[in-house]
Amino acid sequence: MSKYSSSENKATRQGFGEMLVELGKENPNVVVLGVDVTPSVKTDLFQKAFPDRFFSVGISEQDMIGVAAGFYLAGKIPFTAAYGEFAAGRPFDQIRQTLAYSEIPVKICASHCGITVGQDGATHESLEDIALMRSLPHMVVASPCDYHQARKMIRASVALHNPIYIRMFRDNTPVFTKADDEFQFGKADTLIDGNDVTIIACGLQVWEAILAEEILAAEGISVRLINMHTIKPLDKEALVKAASETGAIVTAEDHQIQGGLGSAVAEILAQTIPTPQEFVAVNDTFGESGLGYELMKKYGIDSGSIVKATRKVLERKRRRDGFK
């Protein structure tokens, strides 16, 4: 029996769209920009509630970043919304110069991220966005694990002085955190405590990790599960503590193996406490059309893949420790 259960399925993008309306009511300076995907990314809710503060820029993601920066300079709190590939990849240079270098705190809200966008195929499966965004100085990069966390993340983003990339998803997915759980950027959530191995996941992989833990627990393996919702700045303290206390790490993400959460974790561990680590991620390949769960399985990022990776890293840990 898992330590977490889901009462319902709801999309992270839904939480985003609803929270924008709440913020819009509370603060007249909140403005939202759209690039012709308004119902898909759920900003239609804000558009209906505050038509004067919603601005369409047409299908022009590069322009949107600049327009958002301009709104900030005029005293506004701008949110942009687009699909992941077009939120991070298409306007990378604009985000680099106009937001990151200039430290303009625009909130880039990306929906439809990762391979689970599914049937649209590889062109729409943003599997490189974490790598792109976290390579930029001054950027905050975060990904909510469910609907409630998406809501909290959007609310907390208002106070940030840095630009932020928030990585969300299309599908209705299990809601397993609670509306009143605490949330703070840069402070990881340890969902399950354990001693043998730590699974560090972000976004939709957190639920997959919960499912994996159930299987591993039945085998007598004590898993620590961390929801690393903020990939940059990463919670170094929680990571180093987990590595020193459990001695084996599995990272899980719906992203390329290069440059994502796993890389961020490895960069810190290599410099602090080198630890055997297995990467559950898309292995240097593009995706394809299919259903989300089919693709997760085929590309090796479902709960079963996390289970296999965990067994493997435990084997490496035992070898390193000389089968103590």
Partner 1 sequence: MNKLPINELPELARQLRRDVIKMLMISKSGHSGGPLGLADIFASLYFHLMKIDPTKPTMEERDFFFLSAGHLAPIWYATLARRGYLPISELTTLRKINGRLQGHPAPAKTHGLPGIEIASGALGQGLSIGVGCALGLRLDKKPNHVYVLCGDGELNEGQIWEAMMTAGHHKVDNLICIVDRNFCQIDNRTEKVMELEPLADKWKAFNWHVLECNGNDIEQFINTVNQAKELRGKPKVILAQTFMGKGVSFMEDDYKWHGVPPSEEQGKQALGEIAPTKYGDFVEFEWEKVLVA
Residues that bind partner 1 (CB under 8 A): 31, 52-53, 55-58, 60, 62-76, 78, 93-94, 96-98, 101-104
Q: Provide the greatest CA pair distance for the chain.
A: 67
| Residue with Cβ nearer partner 1 (58 or 274) | 58
Neighbours of 239 (CB within 10 A): 23
| Residue with Cβ nearer partner 1 (75 or 220) | 75
Distances (CA, A) of 187 to 5, 162, 183, 190, 196: 23, 16, 8, 9, 22
| Residue with Cβ nearer partner 1 (72 or 183) | 72
Residue 254 to residue 300: CA distance in whole angstroms: 10
| Residue with Cβ nearer partner 1 (31 or 133) | 31
User: Are 12 and 150 in contact, with CB atoms under 8 Å apart?
Assistant: yes
- Which H or E run contains 238? helix 236-246
Q: Which residues of 195-220 are buried (b: 16+ CB within 10 A; e: fewer)?
A: ebbbbbbbbbbbbbbbbbbbbbbeee
User: Are 112 and 169 in contact, with CB atoms under 8 Å apart?
Assistant: yes
User: From the CB of 159, what's the least distance to partner 1, in Å?
Assistant: 17
| Residue with Cβ nearer partner 1 (75 or 322) | 75
- Phi, psi dihedrals of residue 223, rounded to the nearest 5°: -100, 135
| Residue with Cβ nearer partner 1 (90 or 224) | 90
Strand 77-83 versus strand 30-34 pairing type: parallel
| Residue with Cβ nearer partner 1 (61 or 253) | 61
User: What secondary structure, in 3-state letters, does 240-307 show?
Assistant: HHHHHHHCCEEEEEEEECCCCHHHHHHHHHHHHCCCCEEEEEECCCCCCCCCHHHHHHHCCCCHHHHH
User: From the CB of 211, what's the least distance to partner 1, in Å?
Assistant: 43
- Which H or E run contains 14? helix 12-26
User: From the CB of 68, what's the least distance to partner 1, in Å?
Assistant: 6
User: From the CB of 70, what's the least distance to partner 1, in Å?
Assistant: 2
User: From the CB of 177, what's the least distance to partner 1, in Å?
Assistant: 34
User: From the CB of 37, what's the least distance to partner 1, in Å?
Assistant: 16
User: From the CB of 82, what's the least distance to partner 1, in Å?
Assistant: 14
Spatial neighbors of 220 by CB under 8 A, at least 6 apart, are: none
How far the first Cα of the chain sits from its last, in Å, is 30
| Residue with Cβ nearer partner 1 (101 or 293) | 101
| Residue with Cβ nearer partner 1 (31 or 234) | 31
User: From the CB of 16, what's the least distance to partner 1, in Å?
Assistant: 21
User: From the CB of 138, what's the least distance to partner 1, in Å?
Assistant: 8
